[in-house]
């Protein structure tokens, strides 16, 4: 059962969404519908229902209680080619305030209130979970902003909400389908010039719902954008204490030890130990993500540089497949970690005294199929957490979960913030893999021993990860909020770096890039040998790149660190950032509302404030950018054709649709590095 407050939020969100669509595209929607013949209308009417089955007529009883809620949504009345019955309902639901719909229906007939009372009396309509002696108030802001007041039983209130949600959801879906199928739509608010600019910018970044065949140059551009995003986030964590504290808290609050075992027990608290482990794991994961995408960029670039060597191409494609399998498991593991203590709580169990690479083993105890109808959101979530999941299998479930969240805002808000963010990372990686498979003849991945690079990457990861139980950062991060105190975040990162160097004899920011560099060099050497007519079994990475068996010259701490150590390292120093060229943006003269958005975003005086995502979208549109929703919570912003930086940028929409805290800092950094924007870029007209 959906909570009454949640249902109110969902009704208002659906009504607001429908109202905006009708205001923007009403005449075109009506024109499209009138072009449909009866068979087409029948398909559309049925397609927006989850079961795919619509009432044949208003009194059809073959679909259970459906006729008791929305008898108007039936094939006979809505598909009549000589009738505008659907358009009349659309206009009524989109243009009339909710409180008016409550009292008055279409053609001045009974409103939702009178209809439900009649259905309860004549059709024995009842709520599944009635509450005796419980009442709900309809009135000012609860849930409708108008000065009517009426008190009704709680179960009655819920039935009214169910009716409204069903009707508004279906109208939203059918409008979306009409606009999606309209060849002249494609963002009708944009001019042909803006559309052309959007396509040009997206050519290097576009994340499509459907896989498309891309050129190698486009794949490289997209991989570089993802590498850039991960490096920006790593830099943010070592330069902004608020971001580091947030990240550590995510890892600490999602640790597997919090999952109940089969006897309902959790692990001992040991808070100091787990906070130190969480910080180690969080920072380590940031570095690994950025390094993996750096390696992917180099591999894809190698295919461009050596297009005619089939042996080289075969080796590289195999390596790409294996690395992406590793990367998918990385982001899937983080999503599962967040889900098992949030949405999936109660559906997982921890296996006592069993560990996988030092991490307490957690398994599913609920079969996802059991929740197919009962709770689709949890069903899709559990599917994405299954151990045998691959990117190919996951794509379908990601799309289903994404669609559910788009049409059911309450399902999006039900996710924990950390879970929602992890879902965005999972959607991005899976989308890229799907586009890659559609563009190149990718071989199957193999996680078995014998892959030169992947074996060493895993060995290196294990060598670093094994240190996490030995580090003690409690003087800097106990409690986690202590990281926000002056000097504590910087001190924690420096202490962590010193600890790692004392154990591994090298900092974390140099070992991983060094592995990438050595493998690429070995591959190029192999290519040169083949060109000279020699034969070799495969690229041999020098043993010095492995975590163990270091040479004597590596046993002493180096006096200076490699340049890439500053880029991929964890020390709180400014990273030069080779991933984005520094640009200086021309001054933009904007209207007041747009100025306020960017002032809040870039001004130090605006710290601590927030920006509604819709306000941010509107400000970007005012600058001439196109806004393109992608899979999951991802949105792509494409600059206009005349803008000096012709690169699109993809950002993740916040779960609560408010840009604040660490996310405001993140978007500020990304826009600043991509387009050169800052506090002085914008001025009021």
Report DSSP state, residue 187: S
Of the candidates 460, 468, 474, the one whose C-alpha atom is nearest the C-alpha of residue 499 is: 468
How far is Cα 483 from Cα 33, in angstroms, rounded to an integer?
Answer: 58
How far is Cα 324 from Cα 151, in angstroms, rounded to an integer?
Answer: 57
How far is Cα 222 from Cα 456, in angstroms, rounded to an integer?
Answer: 26
Beta strands in 234-390 (DSSP E): 348-356, 359-364
Rama region for 34: left / alpha / beta (φ>0; ψ in -120 to 50; rest) = alpha
How far is Cα 230 from Cα 289, in angstroms, rounded to an integer?
Answer: 7
Token pair 């008016």 is at which residue?
100
How far is Cα 444 from Cα 322, in angstroms, rounded to an integer?
Answer: 8
Which helix (H) or strand (E) covers residue 299, if one does? helix 271-305
Cβ–Cβ under 8 Å, residues 173 and 48: yes
How far is Cα 396 from Cα 399, in angstroms, rounded to an integer?
Answer: 5
List per-block mean pLDDT (blocks of 10 residues) for the chain, which spans 685 residues.
57 86 88 90 88 84 80 91 91 90 83 79 56 42 40 57 86 88 54 45 46 85 92 93 94 92 74 90 97 96 85 90 95 96 92 85 93 90 94 93 82 87 96 93 77 86 94 93 94 95 90 92 75 54 47 44 74 53 74 92 76 92 88 89 88 89 92 91 87
> Helix 417-439 and helix 241-253: axis angle, to 10°?
90
| pTM across the whole model | 0.69
> Helix 661-675 and helix 241-253: axis angle, to 10°?
130
How far is Cα 273 from Cα 128, in angstroms, rounded to an integer?
Answer: 47
Q: Which residues contact 125 (CB under 8 A, 6 or more apart)?
A: 65, 68, 69, 116, 119, 159
Of the candidates 324, 252, 249, 341, the one whose C-alpha atom is nearest the C-alpha of residue 289 is: 324
**Token pair belonging to 52:** 């795919």
Q: Would you state the pLDDT for residue 270?
A: 59
Of the candidates 136, 179, 161, 132, the one whose C-alpha atom is nearest the C-alpha of residue 70 is: 161
Q: Would you state the pLDDT for residue 413?
A: 79
Q: State the average pLDDT for the chain.
A: 82
Q: Long-range contacts made by residues 85-93, C-beta under 8 angstroms, separation at least 24?
A: 86/33, 86/41, 86/45, 86/174, 87/29, 87/30, 87/33, 87/34, 89/167, 89/171, 90/18, 90/22, 90/29, 90/171, 90/175, 91/22, 91/26, 93/15, 93/18, 93/167, 93/168, 93/171
CA 224 from centroid of its chain's CA atoms: 18
DSSP per-residue string spanning 152-186? EEHHHHHHHHHHHHHHHHHHHHHHHHHHHH-TTTS
Exposure string of 317-332, with b = 16+ CB inside 10 Å and e = fewer, is bbbbbbbbbbbbebbb
Q: Would you state the pLDDT for residue 219?
A: 92
Q: Would you state the pLDDT for residue 202?
A: 45
The span from the first CA to the last CA of the chain, in angstroms, equals 50
Q: pLDDT per residue over 408-434, tens digit each?
A: 777 777 889 999 999 999 999 999 999
């Amino acid at each position: 059962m959906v909570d009454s407050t949640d249902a109110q939020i969902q009704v208002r969100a659906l009504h607001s969404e429908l109202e905006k669509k009708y205001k923007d595209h009403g005449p075109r929607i009506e024109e499209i519908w009138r072009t449909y013949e009866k068979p087409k209308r029948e398909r559309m009417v049925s397609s927006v229902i989850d079961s795919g089955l619509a009432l044949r007529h208003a009194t059809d009883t073959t679909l259970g209680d459906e006729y008791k809620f929305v008898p108007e949504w039936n094939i006979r009345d809505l598909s009549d080619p000589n009738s505008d019955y659907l358009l009349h309902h659309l206009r009524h639901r989109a243009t009339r305030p909710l409180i008016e719909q409550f009292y008055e229906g279409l053609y001045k007939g009974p409103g939702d209130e009178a209809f439900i009372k009649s259905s309860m009396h004549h059709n024995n309509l009842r709520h599944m979970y009635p509450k005796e002696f419980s009442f709900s108030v309809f009135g000012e802001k609860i849930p409708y902003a108008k000065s009517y007041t009426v008190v009704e039983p709680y179960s009655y209130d819920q039935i009214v909400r169910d009716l409204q949600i069903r009707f508004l959801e279906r109208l939203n879906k059918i409008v979306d389908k009409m606009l999606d199928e309209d060849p002249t739509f494609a963002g009708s608010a944009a001019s042909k010039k803006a559309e052309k600019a959007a396509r040009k910018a997206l050519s290097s970044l576009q994340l499509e719902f459907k896989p498309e065949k891309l050129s190698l140059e486009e794949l490289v551009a997209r991989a570089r954008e993802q590498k850039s995003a991960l490096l920006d986030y790593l830099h943010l964590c070592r330069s902004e204490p608020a971001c580091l504290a947030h990240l550590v808290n995510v890892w600490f609050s999602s640790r597997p030890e919090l999952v109940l075992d089969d006897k309902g027990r959790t692990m001992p608290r040991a808070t100091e130990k787990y906070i130190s482990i969480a910080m180690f794991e969080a920072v380590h994961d940031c570095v690994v993500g950025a390094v993996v995408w750096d390696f992917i960029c180099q591999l894809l670039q190698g295919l461009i540089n050596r297009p005619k060597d089939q042996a080289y191409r075969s080796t590289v494609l195999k390596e790409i497949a294996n690395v992406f399998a590793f990367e998918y498991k990385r982001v899937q593991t983080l999503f599962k970690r967040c889900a098992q203590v949030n949405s999936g709580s109660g559906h997982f169990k921890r296996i006592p005294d069993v560990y996988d690479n030092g991490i307490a083993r957690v398994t599913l105890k609920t079969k996802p199929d059991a929740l197919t109808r009962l709770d689709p959101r949890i069903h899709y979530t559990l599917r994405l957490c299954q151990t045998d999941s691959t990117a190919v299998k996951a794509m379908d479930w990601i799309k289903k979960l994404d669609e559910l969240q788009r049409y059911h805002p309450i399902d999006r808000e039900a996710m924990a913030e950390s879970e929602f963010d992890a879902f965005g990372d999972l959607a991005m990686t899976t989308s890229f893999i799907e586009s890659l498979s559609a563009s190149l003849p990718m071989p199957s991945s193999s996680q078995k021993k014998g892959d030169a690079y992947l074996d060493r990457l895993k060995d290196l990861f294990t060598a670093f990860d094994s240190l996490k139980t030995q580090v003690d950062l409690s003087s800097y991060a106990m409690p986690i909020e202590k990281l926000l105190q002056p000097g504590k975040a910087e001190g924690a990162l420096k202490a962590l770096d010193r600890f790692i160097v004392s154990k591994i004899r090298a900092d974390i920011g140099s070992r991983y890039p060094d592995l990438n560099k050595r493998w690429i060099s070995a591959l190029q050497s192999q290519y040169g040998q083949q060109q000279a007519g020699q034969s070799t079994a495969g690229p041999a990475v020098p043993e010095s790149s492995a975590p163990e068996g270091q040479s004597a010259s590596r046993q002493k701490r180096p006096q200076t660190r490699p340049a890439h150590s500053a880029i991929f390292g964890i020390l709180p120093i400014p990273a030069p950032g080779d991933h984005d060229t520094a640009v200086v943006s021309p001054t933009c003269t904007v209207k007041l509302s747009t100025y306020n958005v960017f002032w809040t975003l870039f001004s130090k005086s605006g710290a601590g404030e927030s920006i509604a995502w819709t306000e941010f979208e509107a400000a970007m549109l005012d600058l001439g950018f196109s806004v393109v929703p992608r899979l999951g919570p991802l949105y792509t912003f494409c600059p206009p054709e005349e803008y000096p930086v012709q690169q699109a940028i993809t950002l993740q929409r916040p779960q609560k649709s408010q840009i604040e805290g660490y996310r405001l800092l993140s978007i500020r950094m990304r826009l600043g590095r991509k387009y050169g924007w800052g506090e002085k870029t914008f001025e009021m007209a």
